């Protein structure tokens, strides 16, 4: 499935390094700027633009996305993740997957989805060459799930999507759970119990102050430490070594051999020092941080073609000095920030 290629052949003569000495290994590609859910922590119904205000006409087409990904791969990227908004809303997504899976040097091609539409698409995505899936799942209780989808989702659809993904051959799926105090803390042990003993890995992500409209308050964050301790009290855990440099989730195995869980501590233990990730919005802007106020437009370089894309990426990366999460406690909270549904987490 993975492209057999000598990575040395793809390495740029001078791999770009940002102003803090960080390389570029990881790319998130948002394929769509809208969603069928309205999760209050991401795209709350009452404070996000109506569908009609979103500018579909500016979405990159598949050929443009492929050119950009090829450019990033030539600049050192090896991991590509498709996201959104909700990426499964993008028409003919498996066609894009097959184009990206065929790029020599893409060692890992993954997709993050709310899985509401996965049941009918899992096999086509697998057949197109998608390597891995991450599914967002914040609750198993149907009422809490519905509330967390902004009143739009049905957990039964997600469970059907998971079953279809397993049947299609996605053997180890990652699940992302955002825990908010007073909202879904009660779902944590239930979710752990559900996935323990399966090949899948549940990862708890601290509720982040992304964007400007989710009403984030520090008190609503349930820290990874607190989550770890409550899980450990029920099913003892031991820490595992990171799978690779820059892995964002701290991995922990169940002592009884029933699998592992992960904790992404972007608020309590920021990991900016290892952040080698760029983000591409559906309309062709590059963001060098999840909390950036604005992106850099790649479209002029896409139109020029040739090596213009790499040159622009190198220029953007060379100017990068982002470390928002490390500065959060120092009181630097920019009021202007891109919304999460726009660049995909
Ligand atoms: N719609 C897809 C989904 O939900 O999986 C992909 C895009 S969504 C923006 C990507 C991830 O961002 C999801 O796992 C979601 O839980 C996470 N996310 C959104 N807002 C967040 C927040 N305020 N704090 C932490 N994670 C957040
Ligand atoms: Fe949509 Fe994903 Fe944001 Fe929820 S987290 S509103 S599913 S983009
Ligand atoms: Fe990377 Fe920005 Fe997150 Fe720090 S705050 S880890 S620089 S995306």
Per the confidence metrics, is the pTM higher than 0.85?
Answer: yes
Provide the H-helix boundaries in the chain: 7-10, 62-74, 93-101, 122-128, 142-148, 155-168, 188-195, 224-234, 299-304, 308-318, 324-328, 340-343
Higher-confidence residue of 209 and 103: namely: 103
CA 121 to centroid of ligand 2, rounded, Å: 18
Ligand 3 pocket test target in 322, 343, 344 with most atoms within 8 Å of CB: 322
Give 239 Cα–ligand 2 centroid separation in angstroms: 30
Tell me, using a 6 A CB cutoff, whether residue 205 lines ligand 3.
no
What DSSP line would sit under 69-111, residue for residue? HHHHHHTT--EEEEESS-GGGSTTHHHHHHHHHTSTT--EEEE
Determine the average pLDDT of the residues in 310-332. 87
Which residue out of 208, 248, 272, 334 has the highest number of ligand 3 atoms within 8 Å of its CB and is therefore the one to mutate? 272
Out of 29, 41, 42, mutate this one to test ligand 1's pocket (max ligand atoms within 8 Å of CB): namely: 42
Kindly tell me if the per-residue pLDDT of 3 is higher than 50. no
Give tens-digit pLDDT for 68-93. 999 999 999 999 999 999 999 999 99
Q: Tell me if 322 CB under 6 Å of ligand 3.
A: yes
Report residue 9's pLDDT band, with 50, 70 and 90 as the boundaries: low
How many other CB atoms sit within 10 Å of the CB of residue 91?
8
Percentage, residues of the chain above pLDDT 90: 77
Nearest to 33 by CA among 58, 9, 11: 58
Residue nearest atom 4 in ligand 2 by C-alpha distance: 39
Beta strands 285-287 and 296-297 are antiparallel
Query: Do 275 and 246 contact (CB within 8 A), yes or no?
Result: yes
Helix, strand, coil shares of the chain, percent, nearest 5, are 35, 15, 50
How far apart CA 262 and CA 258 sit, in angstroms, is 14
Q: How far apart are CA 168 and CA 121, in angstroms?
A: 10
Nearest 5°: CA angle at 124, between 121 and 127?
150
Interval 256-269 mean pLDDT:
95
- Pick 14-174+274-343's CATH classification: 3.30.560.10, 3.50.50.60, 3.20.20.70, 3.40.50.1970: 3.20.20.70
Burial class (CB in 10 A: 0-12, 13-18, 19+), 174: middle
CA quadruple 41, 47, 51, 55: dihedral positive or negative? negative
Predicted local confidence at residue 316, as pLDDT: 97
* 136 Cβ closer than 6 Å to some ligand 1 atom: yes
Average pLDDT over residues 227-249: 92
CB neighbour list of residue 48: distance below 8 Å, 6 or more residues apart: 38, 213, 339, 341
């Amino acid at each position: 499935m993975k492209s057999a290629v000598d990575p040395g052949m793809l390495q740029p003569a001078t791999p770009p390094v940002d102003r803090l000495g960080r390389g570029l290994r990881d790319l998130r590609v948002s394929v769509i700027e809208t969603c069928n859910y309205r999760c209050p922590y991401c795209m709350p119904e009452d404070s996000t633009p109506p569908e009609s205000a979103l500018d579909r006409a500016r979405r990159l087409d598949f050929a443009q996305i492929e050119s950009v990904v090829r450019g990033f791969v030539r600049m050192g990227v090896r991991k590509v993740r498709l996201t959104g908004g909700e990426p499964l809303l993008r028409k003919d997504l498996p066609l894009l997957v097959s184009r990206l899976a065929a790029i020599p040097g893409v060692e890992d091609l993954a997709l993050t989805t709310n899985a509401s539409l996965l049941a009918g698409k899992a096999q086509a995505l697998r057949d197109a060459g998608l390597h891995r899936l991450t599914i967002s799942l914040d609750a198993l209780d149907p009422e809490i799930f519905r509330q967390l989808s902004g009143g739009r989702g049905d957990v039964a659809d997600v469970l059907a999507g998971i079953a279809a993904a397993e049947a299609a051959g996605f053997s180890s799926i990652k699940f992302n759970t955002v825990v908010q105090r007073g909202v879904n803390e009660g779902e944590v042990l239930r979710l752990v119990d559900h996935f323990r003993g399966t090949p899948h890995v549940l990862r708890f992500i601290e509720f982040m102050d992304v964007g400007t409209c989710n009403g984030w308050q520090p008190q609503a964050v349930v820290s990874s430490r607190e989550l770890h301790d409550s899980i450990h009290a029920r099913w003892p855990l031991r820490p595992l070594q990171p799978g690779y440099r820059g892995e964002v989730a701290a991995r922990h195995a169940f002592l009884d051999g029933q699998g592992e869980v992960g904790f992404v501590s972007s608020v309590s233990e920021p990991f900016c020092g290892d952040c080698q990730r760029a983000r591409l919005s559906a309309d062709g802007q590059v963001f060098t941080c999840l909390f950036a106020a604005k992106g850099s437009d790649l479209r002029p370089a896409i139109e020029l073609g040739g090596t213009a894309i790499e040159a622009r990426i190198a220029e953007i990366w060379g100017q990068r000095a982002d470390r928002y999460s490390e500065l959060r406690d120092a009181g630097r909270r920019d009021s202007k920030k891109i919304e999460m549904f726009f660049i995909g987490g």
